[in-house]
């Protein structure tokens, strides 16, 4: 192609673009002065004439412009209807090339005369496309074939068109910034030239055909990935000629024939979608150009799709396949943490504090497809929503639009395929639920390595030193239980102040195959109550609170609706009568629990169901707001400030124990799932009288819904002191080791040298993209307590040390108060131990024969004559996580799990450790012992 021709093509493209641009600008001004009834007619005519201009130019120039027109003609969910109707003509044959050109190319490429190659060659082409045209023929051996012949000189034209298209897209982005198609055209510039080598297409066709004939197992073991499509056999290929098996079929735009043959268009598009899901997720090798012209439908029932034209294929790495699968499945599950992890694995590190916007931007790619008419109504709403989300991300993260849209090339072409499939379903007027169809394929690739289990995965147990013989036996038990019962788990135990177990195993989530590490953060549900209770006891020890005083004395607004007589010890002992308070919130408006101040306000309006102190009924949800309100009003500080001052800093467990996580720790979060097989055992279960019936009435439904809710960052970042603690087992075990020692801070966590060291994390990370704000130093604080900065707008307050600097560094965390130099959490440790258990001077504050002391579950020993002891206490959480200590035997232990079950794994672990150490097994963890009301989902029958 000479320079003159090149310049002519370029001038035609840009002059037409300018002409159309000014036409639309003129109409925009014109319609301002006409009535609403005329506006639609004017815009329809404008679209029609400009669509014809685009069509005529594309037909004239051929090459890449035809391919672009074919792509746009499938986007009935994006372009105005006149453009779709006009550009659909490009899916039909273009004007054919002269027979002399076709003959010359065939004979030159194959090295033989036409008569020596074919017994018959049909002169009229079946189709003429942008790069080649296709003729039907019969080989000399009698086989029916199609011959694809590349247009002469098309390679130079395509390469020049790519340059022009790139320039045009850049100009459009400059003139109308909301229309930035640079990512798409950049990927096209990289991939389109591959279509010009038919040997490449032949190999691709063979590979895809082989891949789709395989049968792949899904998680359940059933074959889910067998795809029922047809692909022509490759007979022969050269650089510019491709001979394929002939397959008689119906074109997708031939609606009359589709109707006449009774083709099920819904099933057709679903099967095409399954074929692409297999190519993308299972094979990592897919056709990047699924426009209608690349499909036929077989005329014989059951009318299978015929896949054609594999010139533009894309190969993606195993890691990218897993990232795309994780992105897809995290959208399906609403798992913000896994979504951000998927983005990071793609190389797109958003580091956002706005999980809802990130989820909405990703989910739009997998939304249910719509018919063309519905799509036109929805697309403006979707575009507006996306623009709002992108703008919010830009403002929050100080990023420009290019950074927000900076998806890697593999992800862009993946999204382009989804858009083409969406356009295909819209053009055939069917609806496709992509999440349902693609899910088994995404699961097969993401769960493939995970489902092999611990025996095939040497890294299933995290590689950390073994601290003791009992830890070695514990790890063998975890391998025995395997991935059928365990998803992710952490176990840590102190004996006489020394770490004897510090083990992590499994993965962070069902759709997050990253390994659990010692510093991973697990949601522990009601284990959080034991942490919250510890803060109340600390305030009593510091003289800021008394167990006997009424809550209304501390919190005046609380003293309404018959709550005037409720005392602090009633709250700690679950006898306040508010056991069902606000439980209906989780049913009617679950996200309302994220509003800390509103929930405190709501708790002040509640009325007790029973007289304070008369009946012990487990306060499954209200406990957190009751204690939280007491803590904040007694201390004059935010709950997280008290948590850090009381527990986190003294024990040097920074970054590994939270009630409401701060932004910046998402990469360490474990995601919840449910052991459905175990959950079925709950059918017909009847709990004791100390468990509210409201809690058990829908326990199965609640258990299946909670992981979805508690995997969202909205809930994880909220303050729910009864339910949403996030911690590592080693931080939780250290907490109970300190409580068991009457508040004495244990020596630094040894843990066999596990990395990173406990306490080495920054407790409240800062976003690198967010500018740091200078904080003004406050004056001296009352009672020598830490100064604090104002809470940020998310309600998370960052502590300041007494000298006004930011919280301590990792080095100070390791060598500070935890040096074993006699530092204490409490002034009177013996008194606090009695209070935890509700014995001695505090025996009159607990319910007779109740399972709770003041804030902690009291454990008896399996087989012991006494129902409770005075030395063992702790708190378990729904689904299996737990923390407890046995004061008499010097044992403190914590187990965190992310596969919610009936507690069987936790009981097996605790029993093994206790039996190996010669320590009595607490009844909560015995085979047939008395389980606490806090273990609602841990009430399994004997193993």
Backbone angles phi, psi at 848, to 5 degrees: -60, 130
The predicted model gives 554-561 an average pLDDT of 95
* pLDDT digits 0-9 by tens, 342-397: 877 777 655 444 555 555 555 545 544 444 444 444 444 444 444 454 455 445 44
**Under DSSP, is residue 505 helix (H, G, I), strand (E, B) or coil?**
strand
Strands (E) located in 848-920: 857-858, 872-876, 882-886, 891-897, 899-900
DSSP character string of 209-251: HHHHTS--B-TTSSB------B-PPEEEE-SSEEEEE---EEE
Q: In percent, how much of the chain has pLDDT > 90?
A: 44
The predicted model gives 84-110 an average pLDDT of 87
Of 902 and 150, the one with more pLDDT = 150
Q: What is the pLDDT of residue 866?
A: 53
Whether 816 shows a pLDDT value over 70: the answer reads no
Task: Tell me the catalytic residues.
Answer: 289
Q: What is the pLDDT of residue 693?
A: 52
The pLDDT confidence band at residue 433, using thresholds 50, 70 and 90, is confident
CA distance 878 to 620: 10
Whether 700 shows a pLDDT value over 70: the answer reads no
In this structure, whether the domain defined by 469-751+824-925 belongs to CATH 3.40.710.10 is answered with yes
Chain region(s) in the chain for CATH 3.40.710.10:
469-751+824-925
Computed over every residue of the chain, the mean pLDDT equals: 80
Chain region(s) in the chain for CATH 3.30.200:
98-151+197-215+233-246
The predicted model gives 590-594 an average pLDDT of 85
Contact 911, 925 (CB under 8 A): yes
* pLDDT digits 0-9 by tens, 859-897: 888 665 555 556 899 999 988 999 999 999 999 999 999
Tracing tokens 């095409």 back to the chain, one arrives at: 272
Q: How far apart are the first and last CA of the chain?
A: 79
The predicted model gives 907-929 an average pLDDT of 89
Whether 258 shows a pLDDT value over 80: the answer reads yes
Burial classification of residue 113, based on how many CB atoms lie within 10 Å of its CB (0-12 exposed, 13-18 middle, 19 or more buried): exposed
* pLDDT digits 0-9 by tens, 22-32: 888 899 888 88
CATH dotted code for 98-151+197-215+233-246 = 3.30.200
Q: What is the pLDDT of residue 468?
A: 95
CA distance 817 to 807: 14
Contact 939, 902 (CB under 8 A): yes
């Amino acid at each position: 192609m000479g320079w003159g021709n090149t310049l002519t093509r370029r001038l035609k493209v840009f002059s037409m673009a300018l002409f159309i641009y000014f036409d639309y600008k003129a109409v925009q001004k014109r319609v301002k002065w006409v009535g609403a009834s005329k506006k639609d007619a004017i815009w329809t005519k404008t679209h029609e004439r400009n669509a014809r201009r685009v069509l005529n130019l594309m037909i004239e120039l051929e090459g890449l412009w035809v391919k672009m027109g074919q792509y746009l003609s499938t986007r009935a969910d994006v372009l105005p209807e006149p453009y779709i109707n006009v550009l659909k003509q490009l899916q039909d044959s273009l004007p054919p090339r002269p027979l002399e050109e076709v003959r010359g190319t065939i004979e030159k490429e194959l090295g033989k005369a036409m008569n020596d190659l074919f017994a018959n060659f049909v002169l009229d082409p079946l189709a003429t496309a942008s790069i080649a045209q296709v003729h039907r023929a019969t080989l000399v051996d009698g086989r029916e074939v199609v011959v694809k012949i590349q247009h002469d000189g098309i390679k130079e034209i395509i390469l020049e068109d790519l340059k022009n298209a790139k320039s045009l897209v850049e100009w459009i982005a400059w003139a109308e910034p909301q229309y930035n198609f640079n990512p798409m055209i950049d990927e096209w510039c990289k991939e389109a030239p591959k279509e010009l080598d038919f040997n490449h297409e032949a190999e691709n066709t063979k590979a895809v055909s082989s891949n789709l004939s395989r049968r792949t197992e899904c998680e359940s073991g059933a074959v889910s990935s067998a795809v029922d499509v047809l692909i022509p056999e490759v007979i022969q290929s050269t650089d510019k000629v491709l001979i394929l098996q002939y397959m008689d079929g119906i074109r997708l735009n031939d609606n009359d024939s589709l109707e006449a043959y009774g083709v099920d268009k819904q099933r057709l598009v679903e099967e095409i979608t399954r074929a692409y899901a297999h190519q993308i997720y299972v094979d990592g090798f897919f056709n990047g150009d699924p426009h209608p012209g690349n499909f036929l439908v077989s005329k014989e029932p059951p009318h299978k799709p015929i896949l054609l034209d594999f010139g533009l294929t894309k190969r993606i790495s195993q890691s990218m396949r897993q990232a795309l699968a994780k992105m897809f499945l995290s959208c399906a599950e609403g798992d913000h943490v896994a979504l951000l992890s998927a983005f990071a694995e793609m190389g797109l590190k958003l580091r956002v504090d706005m999980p809802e916007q990130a989820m909405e931007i990703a989910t739009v790619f997998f939304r249910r497809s719509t018919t063309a008419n519905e799509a036109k109504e929805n697309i403006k709403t979707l575009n507006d929503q996306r623009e709002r989300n992108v703008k919010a991300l830009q403002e929050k993260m100080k990023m420009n639009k290019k950074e927000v849209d900076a998806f890697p090339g593999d992800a862009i072409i993946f999204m382009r395929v989804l858009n083409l499939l969406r356009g295909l379903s819209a053009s055939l007027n069917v609806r496709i639920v992509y999440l349902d169809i693609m899910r088994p394929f995404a699961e097969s690739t993401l769960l493939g390595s995970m489902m092999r289990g611990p025996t095939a995965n040497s890294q299933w147990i995290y590689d950390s030193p073994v601290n003791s013989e009992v830890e070695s036996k514990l790890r063998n038990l975890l391998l025995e239980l395997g991935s059928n019962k365990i998803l992710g788990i952490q176990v840590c135990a102190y004996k006489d102040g020394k770490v004897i177990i510090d083990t992590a195993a499994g993965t962070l989530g069902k759709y997050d195959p990253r390994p659990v590490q010692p510093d991973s953060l697990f949601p522990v549900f009601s284990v959080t109550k034991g942490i919250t209770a510890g803060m109340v006891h600390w305030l009593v020890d510091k003289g800021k609170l008394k167990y006997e005083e009424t809550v209304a004395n501390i919190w005046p607004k609380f003293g309404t609706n018959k709550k005037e007589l409720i005392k602090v010890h009633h709250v700690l002992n679950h006898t306040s009568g508010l056991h069902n308070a606000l439980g209906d919130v989780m049913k009617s408006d679950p996200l309302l629990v994220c509003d800390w101040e509103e929930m405190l306000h709501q708790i002040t309006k509640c009325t007790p169901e029973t007289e304070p102190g008369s009946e012990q009924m487990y306060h499954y949800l209200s406990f957190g707001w009751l204690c939280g309100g007491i803590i904040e009003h007694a201390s004059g500080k935010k709950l997280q400030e008290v948590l850090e001052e009381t527990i986190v800093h003294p024990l040097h467990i920074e970054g590994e124990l939270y009630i409401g996580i701060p932004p910046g720790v998402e990469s360490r979060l474990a995601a919840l799932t449910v052991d459905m097989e175990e959950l079925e055992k709950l059918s017909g279960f009847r709990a004791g009288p100390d468990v509210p019936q409201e809690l058990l009435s829908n326990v199965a439904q609640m258990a299946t819904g909670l992981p979805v809710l508690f995997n969202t960052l909205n809930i994880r970042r909220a303050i729910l002191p009864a339910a949403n603690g996030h911690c590592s087992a080693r931080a939780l075990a250290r907490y109970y080791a300190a409580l068991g020692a009457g508040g004495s801070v244990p020596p630094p966590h040894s843990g066999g040298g596990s990395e990173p060291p406990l306490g080495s994390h920054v407790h409240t990370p800062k976003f690198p993209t967010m500018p740091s704000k200078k904080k003004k130093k406050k004056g001296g604080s009352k009672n020598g307590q830490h100064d604090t900065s104002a809470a940020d707008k998310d309600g998370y307050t960052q502590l300041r040390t007494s000298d006004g600097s930011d919280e301590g560094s990792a080095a100070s965390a390791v060598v500070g108060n935890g040096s074993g130099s006699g530092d204490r959490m409490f002034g009177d440790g013996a008194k606090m131990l009695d209070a935890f258990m509700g014995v001695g001077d505090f025996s009159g504050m607990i319910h007779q024969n109740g399972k709770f002391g003041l804030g902690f579950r009291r454990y008896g020993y399996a087989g012991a004559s006494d129902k409770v002891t005075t030395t063992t206490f702790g708190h378990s959480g729904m689904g299996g996580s737990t923390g407890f200590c046995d004061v008499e035997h010097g044992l403190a232990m914590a187990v965190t799990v992310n596969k919610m079950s009936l507690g069987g794994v936790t009981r097996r672990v605790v029993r093994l450790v206790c039996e190996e150490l010669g320590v009595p097994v607490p009844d909560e963890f015995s085979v047939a012992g008395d389980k606490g009301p806090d273990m609602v989902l841990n009430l399994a029958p004997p193993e």
